[in-house]
A and B are shown apart, each in its own frame.
Chain A
Amino acid sequence: MTLERMKLTIDGPVAILAFNHQEVLNALSPKLLQDFNTALDAIEDPANGVRCLVLTGEGRAFCAGANLQGDMGKREGGKIDAGAALETVYHPILRRLRNLPFPIITAVNGPAAGAGMSFAVMGDLIVAARSAYFMQAFRRIGLVPDCGSTWLLPRLIGRARSLELSLLGDRLPAEKALEWGLINRVVDDGEALNEALKLATELANGPTVALGLIRKLYIESTDNSFEEQLDLERQSQRTAGRAQDFAEGVQAFLEKRPAQFKGR
């Protein structure tokens, strides 16, 4: 697998995937997204035994969003269709991330702007460096938030703060993002990946079937009624309860020892 704009390292059950186009602050281009897809093929392949994904950026930024220098995409009656690339390139990747059967941690090592912010907040757990910031940059160039931002933001921080970020397009510093409940950890600069790997090791040794189902429960939750969600919990509990890890979990609890989960 030759990747140019992404860098993939599989370290036991943890896959580390990094945006790798530092000279443009890891801005997203068609080539980069193609590499992202290729990397996901490897990450999803059961033969690789991945049980947790860490997404981060090489260099000083996490990801600056779409590369505005490049080809702006299809023209329609002489006008650019700024939405076309979403359908063809971005959305398929976002759907693959949503559907991963194990947790994603994002290690936000530096600024995350526009679509880069969207990818950052796709993490089930989000770790950021103290100097990192989040910016809904879209309105600065006359666009609307995309890549799922407008779905995720109100579910993370509520309506007032979502509107503020999107309408003003100001930087949200990592510390403030933590206080708002947008992210889970703030660490010293240079430490985001280390902290993310600690959490990833914990999760990669967890009951992967249950952890994957937990992700799905929270993806569905906010659109479900109480009744629908009870039903989904019940179905998920049946699936989780059939995995070997549940038997091990109960046994370990009764024997008062740490559980050894296998991810099956």
Chain B
Amino acid sequence: MNFKYMKLTLDGPVAVLAYNRPEVLNAMSPESLAEFGEALDVIEDPASGVRCVVLTGEGRAFCAGANLRERASGDAPEAGAVLDTSYHPILRRLRDLRCPLITAVNGPAAGGGMAFALMGDLIVAVRSAYFMQAFRRIGLVPDCGSSWLLPRLVGRARSLELSLLGERLPAEKALEWGLINRVVDDGEALNEAMKLARELANGPTVALGLIRRLYAESTENSFEEQLDLERQFQRAAGRASDFAEGVQAFLEKRPARFTGH
């Protein structure tokens, strides 16, 4: 795809989307987010056959967050406006993806970049990567959904610590805290993410997409509401041909061949 700030590669059923502005550590701007949106148009198009998305960064950073030079000059008086116009629409589309999202955190993920890193259903980071809630360093609050995701990932005490102090959280500590799923050697994040992505891209995509949605809703639902949601989603999953194949393969004691339908 012909983008300036993002890079999209379709590798069979896996889409690899990379921040591609290494000279500013992949800092985000309204322009890069517009391209992010166009890349999602392609990814979401059923004709592309995408069954898993990997989000990563080119160069040595994952994403340094919002580009402060642009943010400061562009809309300084209203630090929240660009959230409405540029960031939130993308975050909603990532939340609503019908296939799994894996983030390959190849280097530092700060501010809004940390928020995007944590949007992964599975999160792989290199050993030298770190996560930083940089917002408080410039007098802002965590945004891009950070304050929704963090307490659900690491609990209240650790969320507050990260956000109030704004210090770096190294990848190993993030793994120990249960914030992320894998730590690998430097340079290996994308390879490891691709292994997981191929596994998921050959899975029962309808069910995997519904699993994402169950966990997006779970923490606010009452027990009763969640039972009901599981029941609705089980109906939808059970109607997919992958369910019939899964049962058949189980009975025949062979690996299932899921097609994502």
Contact = CB atoms under 8 A, between A and B. Distances in A.
Contact of B147 (A126, A183, A221, A259): A221
Contact of B157 (A183, A223, A247, A254): A183
Contacts of B147: 214, 217-218, 221, 229, 232-233
A243 B78 CA distance: 11
Contacts of B227: none
Nearest to A199: B165
Contacts of B139: 207, 209-210, 240, 243, 245-250, 259, 261
B156 A214 contact: no
A249 B141 CA distance: 12
A252 to B, nearest CB: 8
Interface residues of A, number: 57
Given A224-B148, A230-B148, A202 B165 contact: yes
Interface in B72-116: 72, 76-81, 83-84, 88, 91-92, 95
A105 to B, nearest CB: 9
Interface string B211-226: 0000010011000000
Interface string B142-179: 11111110111011111111011100000000000100
B249 interface: no
Contacts of A125: 157, 160-161, 164-165
Contact of B160 (A202, A218, A223, A234): A218
B136 interface: yes
A64 interface: no
B148 A226 contact: yes
A69 interface: no
B137 A249 contact: yes
B68 interface: yes
Interface of A: 103, 124-126, 152, 155-158, 181-184, 199, 202-203, 206-207, 209-211, 213-215, 217-218, 221-227, 229-230, 232-238, 240-243, 245-250, 252-254, 259, 261
6 contacts: A218-B159, A222-B219, A229-B147, A233-B80, A233-B145, A233-B148
Pairs A-B, 10 closest by C-beta atoms: A241-B79, A249-B138, A207-B139, A237-B80, A245-B139, A229-B148, A238-B80, A249-B139, A246-B139, A217-B147
